Amino acid sequence: MENTVIKERLSRLREVMEDQGIDFYMMPTADFHNSEYVSDYFKVREYFCNFTGSNGTLLVWKEGAGLWTDGRYFIQAEHELAGTGVELFRMQDEGVPTIEEFLQKNMKEGQTLGFDGRVLTTAQGRRYEDSLKEKKISFAFEHDLAEEIWTDRPAFPAGRVTVLDEKLAGRSFEEKLQSVMEKVHKEGADSLLLTKLDDLMWLFNIRGCDVECNPVAVSYGYFSEEGSVLFIQEKVLDEKVKEYLEAKHIQVEEYGTIVSYLEQLPAGRRVLIDRRHCSYVLYKVLAAKQAPVEKNNPTEALKAVKNPVELANMEEIYLKDSVALTKFIYWLKTNIGKMEITELSAADYLEKLRREIPECTGLSFPSISAYGANAAMMHYEPTEESHAVLKPEGLYLIDSGGQYLGGTTDVTRTIALGPVSDEMKLHYTMVAAGMLQLSNARFLYGCSGRNLDILARQQLWNLGIDYKCGTGHGVGYMLNVHEGPQNMRWRFMEGMAEVPIEAGMDISNEPGVYLEGQYGIRIENIMVAENDRKNEYGQFMHFKTLTWVPIDMDAMELKHLTEVQKIQLFQYQRTVCEKIAPYLTAEEAEWLKKETEVPGCAALQGEN
């Protein structure tokens, strides 16, 4: 069916492009800080093409339009782009050009590429400069063309800001700043322009609510020998926050004055910027008079290694969160087929259980509650207009998490609601085996996620299948559910850091299988890296599991497991029962005891 709304918007955009002499116009998924998730105000790409995923770039030209997105969203993008006239470009698939390659081939000499320079990063802008230099392409980056078309655009985000108690943070602003500036100076810079929102929240020990589920406030930070400056909308600061900032000797400037402030800096300042997050506009301002030092934010690596206070709080919060999810699975297994349960009502019930935890402040991301074929879309989200009713058969996937005073959680379980096919059992068993194999890894310090990813993926590669995403990502502490620089994937994309796994880094472990039109399977735990033995070979490391939610034995087929894998499964299930049962009702505890039994491990059961 033709999507006339999107086609009319694109037609209007092309008229504005022609008026301003722009031949190609690019819209990434980003705000002024290159955030993964953005407030409604910044969903320009979604407005012009109907694709709602968190990653993708829309390119519009006179004769057409294209959306580039990654493998997590191929199925979703196909559905949402239907009838819009926008072509889907499947990133990293064989024969699919990158945006740069497409522009190199299709732009004519002397044409103009347009984009809002505030939502394109320095790295992206510089890359397009280099790749299009030979064609003498001009760049129009001073304006957001959506302003002339999107008349009912949501308001610019301006949510309330709060101060994070140092008893929860574990380190003061002054302690963090000292560590940050030591690294800034080691990089040969004398000051730091910080633009990444979760890094700013971590450093200042404040939290906001400008992005759904992400406790961040739109802001910038500038740090030098003269002091620390926070650029933020003053109207979002109450007296308590103002008193805190004043006590910490943090100068407050209005958010919109960042450009004029940088323009007035003494010439020649060596300002450290992170080209992955600093906007192209701010880079251009600094490059005019200053000497930008392009390095990764030192805050990112420091934030990734959780301090002892954070780790202790996370362990406690993950236990409470695991209890909530275990109760949810019991409720679902007990009631499926006896009452109507939909993808929406199931997610609502789990949210209710989480909100009963005193420390809970909300969700860490919109729940991915997906039944049957919907679960093949990795980031599927049910709506009032479109959702499925759960039946006592097949597989149901729930990927969800909470924001708590003491941590941010992220966990996925796939649950058999009734009979499942042999193929489903094979795939489920191999996903579980991969997750457990990675959980039990022992590795030398210096390994990155690229070295370890195969441990989760190997079982599926043996079957000739794969999942088009990474295996793991860092998780924020009372912050964004996705954070870096740590991650786990066999193939790194541009802009991604590859760093050693450090003790104190938390990371998700989430292999899966996604068969379009059939079903999806994902099992996800969160782990923390710890030091193990140290000897003549170096420092060995291992992972400590934080998530203790049962693996569904109704979907397992033990004949596909090796003896070692059976032992790993038994040990995990036994620990789940030991940790979670004390917080359940008698009926729930009895169910959990049966749910975590591993047939054929009688000798091991006797050890308990």
Structure confidence by residue, pLDDT tens digits, 349-390: 999 999 999 999 999 999 999 999 999 988 888 888 889 999
- Predicted confidence at residue 602, as pLDDT, reads 61
Report pLDDT for 495.
61
d(CA 482, CA 355): 21
**DSSP string of 307-343?**
-HHHHHHHHHHHHHHHHHHHHHHHHHHHHBTTB--BH
The token pair at 439 is 């959980």
The pLDDT assigned to 446 comes to 96
Question: 180: number of CA atoms within 13 Å, CB side?
Answer: 30
pLDDT of residue 606: 47
| Residue 427, pLDDT score | 98
**10-residue mean pLDDT series, the chain (608 residues):** 91 95 94 92 95 91 93 86 94 90 94 95 93 92 92 95 96 97 97 98 97 96 97 97 97 97 95 95 95 95 97 98 98 97 97 98 96 91 89 97 98 98 98 98 96 96 94 96 93 77 98 95 98 96 98 96 95 97 98 93 56
Identify the CATH class of 4-148. alpha beta
Whether 28 and 60 have beta carbons less than 8 Å apart is answered as no
pLDDT value, residue 378? 86
The pLDDT of residue 604: 60
At the fourth CATH level, the homologous superfamily of domain 305-605 is Creatinase/methionine aminopeptidase superfamily (3.90.230.10)
Q: pLDDT at position 54, please?
A: 81
For residue 78, is it left (φ>0), alpha (ψ between -120 and 50) or beta? alpha
What is residue 198's predicted lDDT score, i.e. its pLDDT?
Answer: 97
- Its pTM stands at 0.92
Contact predicate 336/390, CB 8 Å = yes
End-to-end CA distance of the chain: 60
Superfamily of domain 162-295: Creatinase/prolidase N-terminal domain (3.40.350.10)
State the span(s) of the chain assigned CATH 3.40.350.10. 4-148, 162-295
Question: Burial, 542: exposed, middle or buried (Cβ in 10 Å; 0-12, 13-18, 19+)?
Answer: middle
% of the chain exceeding 90 in pLDDT:
90
